[in-house]
């Protein structure tokens, strides 16, 4: 499904490579509740899936009923790291897909809204860090995270690929929006909790299993 017009595959991390989207929202919901903003994990996913940490922090501060300072983000990162470390694993089909891309000599990278520390933590505990080291791009690297196109354009520019010849694999509406704004083909992935309808605007369709991408 990845044809010869693609020179670079850009993967989101959480929920595409690593199965974190069932863990992270529960942590955020608990922390938001402690700050006086009751949210369910489903509400967290709806509001923040694919968004950078800075946006999450701003929203919690705006809705909290108790003072929320920079230490909230530190606590958030610590609790998320602990939760991910306790149950890390890749999304189904990741290893086979990466093997297929390697066999074709097709470059790939990560373009994630997470911080560099969080991305490294997730990939390391899932056993994927060696496959992406040196090709990881974070919202930390740009002025505006998803749904702005900055992150994906930065990844393409750094790796010498034309935006139109990149293929983005995303599980969030914000990520799909960012890819479209960057002029990049994008496939929506629904192997996690995201409903297909939320990704229906992906230019190159929606898939439920990564192995669908492993054949040309």
DSSP secondary structure code for residue 92 in this structure: T
* Max Cα distance, the chain (Å): 54
Q: Is 171 a catalytic residue?
A: no
Q: Is 177 a catalytic residue?
A: no
Pairing of strands 206-207, 8-11: unpaired
For residue 168, the cross-strand partners are 10, 186
Q: What is the C-alpha separation between 195 and 114, in angstroms, rounded? A: 21
Is residue 94 within 8 Å of residue 17, measured between CB atoms? yes
Q: Which of 62, 67, 27 is nearest to 44 (CA)?
A: 27
Please pick, among 3, 7, 14, 42, the residue that the annotation labels catalytic. Answer: 14
The Cα-based distances of 123 to 55, 115, 118, 156 in angstroms read 23, 12, 9, 21
Residue tagged 């891309």 (tokens): 101
Give the number of residues written for the chain. 216
Please pick, among 7, 12, 140, 150, the residue that the annotation labels catalytic. Answer: 12
DSSP H/E element including 138: strand 136-138
Token couple for 60: 């919690």
Question: Which residues are part of the catalytic machinery?
Answer: 12, 14
């Amino acid at each position: 499904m990845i044809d010869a017009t693609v020179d670079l595959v850009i993967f989101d991390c959480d929920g595409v490579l690593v199965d974190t989207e069932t863990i992270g929202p529960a942590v955020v919901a608990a922390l938001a509740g402690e700050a006086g903003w009751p949210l369910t994990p489903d509400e967290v996913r709806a509001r923040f899936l694919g968004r950078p940490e800075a946006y999450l922090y701003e929203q919690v501060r705006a809705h909290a009923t108790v003072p929320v300072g920079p230490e909230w983000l530190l606590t958030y990162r610590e609790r998320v790291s602990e939760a991910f470390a306790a149950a890390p694993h890749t999304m189904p089909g990741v290893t086979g897909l990466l093997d297929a891309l390697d066999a074709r000599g097709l470059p790939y990278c990560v373009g994630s809204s997470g911080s560099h520390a969080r991305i490294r933590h997730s990939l390391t505990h899932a056993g994927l860090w060696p496959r992406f080291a040196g090709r990881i791009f974070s919202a930390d690297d740009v002025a505006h995270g998803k749904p702005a196109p900055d992150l994906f354009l930065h990844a393409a520019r750094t790796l010498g690929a034309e935006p139109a010849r990149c293929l983005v694999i995303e599980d969030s509406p914000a990520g799909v929006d960012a890819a479209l704004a960057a002029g990049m083909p994008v496939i929506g992935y629904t192997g996690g909790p995201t409903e297909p309808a939320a990704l229906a605007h992906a230019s190159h369709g929606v898939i439920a299993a990564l192995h669908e991408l492993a054949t040309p």
